[in-house]
Structure formats: C-alpha cells, structure tokens
Amino acid sequence: MKNLWNDTDAAQYTTDLDLRVYTSRLLGQDPSLVLHGGGNTSVKITETNLLGDRLDILYVKGSGWDLETIEAAGFPPVKLDHLLRLAQLPTLSDPDMVNELRCNMLDAAAPTPSVEAILHAALPYKFVDHTHADAVVTITNTPEGRQRIADVYGDRVVVIAYVMPGFDLARVVAEQFAQQAHQGTIGMVLMNHGIFSFADTAKQSYNRMIDLVQMAEDYLAANNAWQLTDPAPLSNAAECRLDLAILRKDLSLAKGSAMILNQRNDPRARAFAASDGVKVLSQQGPATPDHVIRTKQRPMIGRDVASYGEAYQDYFAANASTEHRILDRAPRVILDKDLGLLTTGNNIKEANIIGDIYCHTVEIIQRATALSQWQALPDEDIFAVEYWVLEQAKLSKGSSAPAFNGEIALVTGAASGIGKACVDRLLSQGAAVVGLDINPVISDLYSRSDFLGIQCDVTDTNALKDALERTGRAYGGLDMLILNAGMFPAGRTIAELDDDLWNQVMQVNLNANLSLMREAHPLLKLAPNQGRVVIIGSKNVSAPGPGAAAYSASKAALNQLARVAALEWAADGIRINSVHPDAVFDTGLWTEEVLQARADHYAMSVHDYKTKNLLKTEISSADVAKLAVSMLGKLYAKTTGAQVPIDGGNDRVV
C-alpha cells in the first residue's frame, strides 16, 4: 500500500469537511481500495444553523459521487441525532429509509446520502472511511476467512458477519460494535464486503486504512498468496472480429438493445479465461456484493448466450419472490478460452468499468485460491443485492439513452472537415466512433474511450482490414459506416489529365471505398439494429464541372457503387444512402487564399461566392454531418438507395 498523504497538499485543506474531501480522494485514487463509485466516507461536524441552534451533522458521501473526484458538494449534511435514533428501530424499509435521509438533510439541494449513512452515524468517531480493499475481501472470501481476519488483526478491528448493506447492516453494526469495541479498536471488517477505519482526524483515519490494508497484504505475502505468477504476454495474431460481432449480436438480442463488447487487453485475465480452473473459480459470486449490479452474479464461460440466459432464469426463479421482476438475461462478463476476457455495456464507459472490476476480481480469486480456497457469498445473498431497489436505482439514474447508445460507427477522412464533423455528431449522440485518416493527427484527435483514431491509408486494403480488426476488439462490431475520405485534385482539363493522376483519384475516391465496403459488409450484416452506410458524394455527380474530370467521374462511379450496394445489401437489412454536398468551404481544402482566388475568378466577393446557390446560404461541414448522421438514424429507417443534395439548391440539379 502506498500512503498518499502529503503535508503540503493537505495544508491547503483547512476545514474538517475540506480534509474529508482530501483523504476521500486519496482513497479514490487507489483502485485496489475502491473502484468506480465503491466505498464511502463521512465526517461528523457540529455547526450552528440560521436560528443559532448548535447541531451535530453527519456529512456522508452522496450517491452518484465517486471518491476519486468527490467535492464538498458531494457530502450531503444529515442530522446526526436523527440517524442515531433511526439505528435503534427494529426495522426500516428501504423507501422509508431514503425518505428519512432526505427529509433530515440540512441542504435541500444536496444529493441523496449514501445508503450506509446510518452505519456511518452509528460509528462513534469523527472521521469514518470505508473501502472494499482487494486484500481484505481476498481473505474474507475463503472458507476460514473469519479466523484468518482474527490472525491478521487480533482485536484491533471489530468483525461483523455478512449482512446485506442498508438498514439491517447499520442496525447490526450499531448493536455489535458497541459490545465489541474498546480503546484499541481502529477498524471494522465486514465479512465478504470490506473494511472501515476511523479516527478523530482525517489523517489518522486515512493512515489507519492504509495500515490495515497493508497488514492484509503482508499476511497474504507471508502465506505465499500475494505474488502472482506472471502470465504469458498477449498475442493478438488470429483475427477475431467476426467472432466478436456474432457474439455481440447475440448479447444485444438478449439485452434488448445494442451493446458494446470490449476485448480486454489484460494478459492475466486472458490466461484466467483459458485456464482449467475457470469453470469452477469464476462461477461464484463477486468479490464484494455491490459489484453484482455491474457484473451480474457470474460471468458467461464461452459464447452460448442462450444457455447463459436459461441459467440466469433458473437463478432468478430460485431466489425471487413475487415483487421481483427479472432483469435482462445478457451476461456482462464473458470468459472465452480463445477471446479472453470480454465485457459488455450500454456504452464503452460501462464496459470498461466492468472490465476494471473483473481484472481486480481475477487477482482476488487467484490470491484467495493460493491462500486456501475462493469462496464467495451464496447466490441468495448476491441476488438480494442485485435485486435491491436501491442498487437498481443507481443504474437507472440518467434518463433517456442517446440515439446511438451501444452502437459503433466508422468514418473515413475523419481528421478534419466533414469527416470530423460527422465524428463529433456521432459522439454527441452516444455512438462509439472509429476515425480513419491518413493524417497522423487522427490518433490523438480525442482522448476518450468512445473514440478510436487510426492513421490509415484507405487505399491499402490490409490497413483497412487491420482497422476493422481493431474496431472489433475495441467495441465488438460495426453498425454504421460513413465513407467520406476523398481527394479533389487541382483543376486539369481532359487534354492535360495524365494516367497517374486519374488512377490516383480513382484509387482514393472509388476503389478504396469498394474495398472498405466489401471488408465491412460481414460486420454490418451482424449489426443488432441493422447496418447503415452513408456515402459523402458530390454535386458533381449530377452537375459536373470542367477541369474536374477525374473527381466527377470517380464520384459518379461511387454513386453507382452505392446504388448497386443498396440493391444487393437490402436482403441483409443494410441501408445505404448518399448525400451530395456542394460548396462546403470550412474544410482543409479551402484556405482564405484559394477562396479569394476562386471568387476573383468569377468576379464575385468571397461572401457571394460562398453563397452562390438558390437559397443564398452557406453550407458548413456541420450541416453536412447533421444530414449524414440523420441518415444513419431512425428518420431514414425505411430509406435506402436515396440521394439527397445539400447545396442550398442548385439550378443545374433542381
């Protein structure tokens, strides 16, 4: 364990609440302590209200906040006395508990307090820190875990047998803690769940957490259960994009909506997925109960989604009572001997969170096995958390899903102009986007998990195949394709047009698109909501210009290619439509000087030149992207083989 406390940093935090923020973030920075919203912290402060009354207040982590990035606003203030009285009740339903918590806050705008608020109140210390430390849950998830925890900590910690989080746990802790705690108590272990530390200062409570977890790590090390053998390095030699796309389609059908499927680049998880023991070791509950809402109760081994669904149905039937309604039957974690660890989600962020959780779970399982035997909670306890209304509420927050949630788009010529505008629009509507461009800036165009920029010469078919392979591994398949990459050579009459230039234009504007369409077709065919293609054509298709023979001919041929594809691919449910833009001047091709030169050529002002169309309007890359992306959406669900101009109206075309 690394103690991240830094006196200089800490000095900037003066109030108790500020220090609470500081050490909460320190905990949040260490994924071996808490992952993605796990864990919670609190501080008890006495304050004077507007009427001059002195009040004891519990500031406790609010739901929806992550310890790593929490701020003071993430700690709703709750009346401590009221929480302590609630802890004495024999029972309290979940809706009543949430209502009590909300009604006894001192800030109407604060987030809902953690469901562990009453537990935090019941611990008689100013600062309370709670994590799901890997090392501690490793030891508690073994058959003789309780004895081992006693071996590690002696009587420094109070140990509480597993109770489901929420009011019942708070009540049990309120009762048992008082009986067991003494002067030397510095923490509390909740079996199969996690650990608490506490103290009068933020620093001491944090230090105790680090020390306690270090003791657990030392214990594992002393029992040859800390250092894991290094797995063999990853080899991604065999192509697997089609296998992934088939699996993603099955998963999406089981879920009832398009899912992202990510192949995790983690050698240990890959080796675990291929190991003999995986069938037994992976088929128990999660390392700590709240992981279940992300990961489901167990991973799927192999690719038989239907069988997984049946087993999930059985698990539901065995544990449900009448008020429960079954959730979707799709797995979130998949362990396949060839494909390794795969995770799914409504978007890549979710799939990555699940991947992070499962990579930690693999280490926890392996260390517990090295120590003695991995033994997670039984199904009934996991079910109770999975189907706990308060946990389900965490997932359903954030209302309607964006239009392309769970879907994947690939855009060529994506580093600038119309291509980049398409990327932006697709990202804003929830798609994961792969951008190809010959310009190396594409790789760093955006640093976000839902964007993958690949430098790629589209005339190199192997490079295209490689890009599709990376798309499959990152996101699981391909739903949408925007063919935008193209070149517009300087004007040249047919009399001056040499073969090389002609061939080069045909290569980029026509042949490359054929190659990509051919290679993408098997993936588009497997798109859960059917495949869609949009071609960025040109006004030149119907109204060519002198001096642009190669460009006009290439775009006209591409147009025919799209029309034939619409005929051939309709049987596969794939729609392909074209947009024909004209005079889009906010692209890399058009510098101020070129624009001025063209305007001079026609004896026009730049403004008149830019708007020389029937509607006298300017057309931007974003306008074209808006239309192109609409064509990928529901509005065009029943249209294929269409060609829509976006040119402000052209008297040669209308």
Residue 68 amino acid letter:
E
Query: Which position's Cβ is nearest Zn ion?
Result: 194
Taking the mean position of all CA atoms in its chain, how far away is CA 636?
Answer: 28
- Residue 198, token pair as written in the block: 């506490």
Q: Which stretch binds Zn ion (CB under 5 A): 192-200, 238-246, 459-467, 497-505?
A: 192-200
- Residue 226, token pair as written in the block: 């800390």
User: Is the Cβ of residue 243 or residue 356 nearer to Zn ion in the bound state?
Assistant: 356
Q: Which stretch binds Zn ion (CB under 5 A): 19-27, 190-198, 595-603, 640-648?
A: 190-198
Sign of CA dihedral 178, 184, 187, 192: negative
User: Is the Cβ of residue 166 or residue 299 nearer to Zn ion in the bound state?
Assistant: 166
Spatial distance between the Cα atoms of 376 and 361, rounded to a whole number of angstroms? 11
- The CB-of-196 to Zn ion minimum distance in angstroms stands at 9
User: Is the Cβ of residue 173 or residue 458 nearer to Zn ion in the bound state?
Assistant: 173
CA proximity to 643, closest of 583, 576, 582: 576
State the residue for tokens 């989600």.
345
Return the residue of 37, 62, 113, 194 that touches Zn ion, per CB under 5 A. 194
SS3 12: coil
Spatial distance between the Cα atoms of 216 and 385, rounded to a whole number of angstroms? 26
Which of these is catalytic: 22, 125, 153, 551?
551
- The CB-of-288 to Zn ion minimum distance in angstroms stands at 7
Indicate the pairing of strand 333-336 with strand 432-437. Answer: unpaired
User: Is the Cβ of residue 132 or residue 248 nearer to Zn ion in the bound state?
Assistant: 132
User: Is the Cβ of residue 194 or residue 286 nearer to Zn ion in the bound state?
Assistant: 194
Q: Is 494 exposed, middle or buried (0-12, 13-18, 19+ CB in 10 A)?
A: exposed
- Residue 567, token pair as written in the block: 């005929």
Spatial distance between the Cα atoms of 517 and 404, rounded to a whole number of angstroms? 21
- The CB-of-20 to Zn ion minimum distance in angstroms stands at 17
Tally of helices (H runs) and strands (E runs) in the chain: 25, 18
- The CB-of-169 to Zn ion minimum distance in angstroms stands at 9
User: Is the Cβ of residue 28 or residue 194 nearer to Zn ion in the bound state?
Assistant: 194
CA distances 122 to 95, 172, 304, Å, are 20, 10, 47
Spatial distance between the Cα atoms of 406 and 542, rounded to a whole number of angstroms? 37
Q: Which stretch binds Zn ion (CB under 5 A): 104-112, 194-202, 434-442, 596-604?
A: 194-202
Q: Specify whether the CB–CB gap between 555 and 516 falls below 8 A.
A: no
SS3 263: strand
- Residue 15, token pair as written in the block: 């109030």
x-or-dash string of contact with Zn ion, 138-177, rule CB under 5 A: ----------------------------------------
- Where do runs of H (alpha helix) occur along 401-490? 417-428, 461-475
Spatial distance between the Cα atoms of 81 and 277, rounded to a whole number of angstroms? 51
- The CB-of-532 to Zn ion minimum distance in angstroms stands at 43
Contacts of 491 (CB under 8 A, 6+ apart): 546, 547, 548
User: Is the Cβ of residue 194 or residue 476 nearer to Zn ion in the bound state?
Assistant: 194
Q: Which stretch binds Zn ion (CB under 5 A): 187-195, 497-505, 564-572, 614-622?
A: 187-195
User: Is the Cβ of residue 192 or residue 484 nearer to Zn ion in the bound state?
Assistant: 192
Residue 235 amino acid letter:
S
- The CB-of-165 to Zn ion minimum distance in angstroms stands at 6
Q: Total number of residues binding Zn ion (CB under 5 A)?
A: 1
Mark whether 315 is an active-site residue.
Answer: no
Spatial distance between the Cα atoms of 468 and 244, rounded to a whole number of angstroms? 12
User: Is the Cβ of residue 38 or residue 477 nearer to Zn ion in the bound state?
Assistant: 38
Residue 442 amino acid letter:
I
Spatial distance between the Cα atoms of 140 and 285, rounded to a whole number of angstroms? 13
Q: Which stretch binds Zn ion (CB under 5 A): 90-98, 191-199, 385-393, 494-502?
A: 191-199
**Residues annotated catalytic, as ranges:** 551
Enumerate binding residues for Zn ion (CB under 5 A): 194
